[in-house]
Amino acid sequence: MKGDFGRVGVLYGGRSAEREVSLMSGQGVYDALRSVGIDAQLFDTGLYTLVDLINAGFDCVFIALHGRYGEDGTLQGALELMDLPYTGSGPLGSSLAMDKIMTKKVWLQQQLPTPAFAVLTADSDLARVAQELGLPLIIKPPHEGSTLGVTRVDDISQLRGAYKLAAQYDEEVLAEQFIKGRELTVPVLGAGKTARALPVIEIVAPDGNYDYEHKYVSNDTQYICPAELDAELTASILRIAEQAYVALGCEGWGRADFMLDEQGRPWLLELNTSPGMTSHSLVPMSAKAAGMSYADLCVEILAGARCKVQQPSIT
């Protein structure tokens, strides 16, 4: 297997607010690839430059970065210029999925279910937004993950503080209708017509608070995989996940997050194009339920590594 991929760089760490999670994800991927004989090497994009990456002599790279400068299309564009095959979505799909506002606009155009929302700036009428969306609502920075900067607002007096917290990460802030119900997530592998959803996971966090602590640190969150849903609803959620993934032009792998409301209707929240691969992460959990080991999952993702942009011939 070592000869199939050549020298593989596992890109991790980086400079985003999700650096610590990425360090754990990258270490997990590295260990898995090494365990099956692949010549993998860790490369921290937060410590080294693109020049160092060129000089490292990798034949392809596995992107285990989260957040800005790794998941947002910037790195993918640089890798295209370097003609270095990489895992995951290309520049456009990565950029779209990273922007939760643009993601929702694309999904609405495709008639996919996603909660009502508003875009907030410093001069927005917060009281009017609360009246239009109703309370409670969710305030979040549109370009961050791992629930960073996210606040549930139950009273209008909390709005200004929630906006200021999210605005520390983004100039524009997303206000989203709160959906009460069950939290679900669905990993997707492949691309286009070959995209396939893995088993649905239900996330049961203490008091419904699936924050950074309950994602990556504590063991208090319960995960039900496959989620206990009837066959028709399961099929519908899997189909929506695949449609949401394809609509954004995603490739390789990703994870669609949902809320299932009290009437049994699924609502798309966001799509991650470089999901976590830590010991608490969801994609490996779903893959295991589908009969795929962590190492097999990493190898399948790696097998899809390629440059996504068609390069014109130079004559």
Catalytic residues, by residue number, are: 18, 146, 216, 255, 257, 270, 272, 276
β-partners of residue 258 are 184, 268
The alpha carbon dihedral of 243, 248, 253, 258 has a sign of negative
Distance CA 6, CA 40 (A): 9
Say how many CA atoms lie within 13 Å of 202 toward its Cβ: 13
Contact status, residue 195 vs residue 222, Cβ threshold 8 Å: no
Q: Nearest 10 degrees: CA dihedral of 281, 284, 287, 289?
A: -70
Distance CA 99, CA 141 (A): 9
What the block records as the tokens of 248 is 């954004």
Contact status, residue 298 vs residue 62, Cβ threshold 8 Å: yes
Task: Write the DSSP symbol of residue 156.
Answer: G
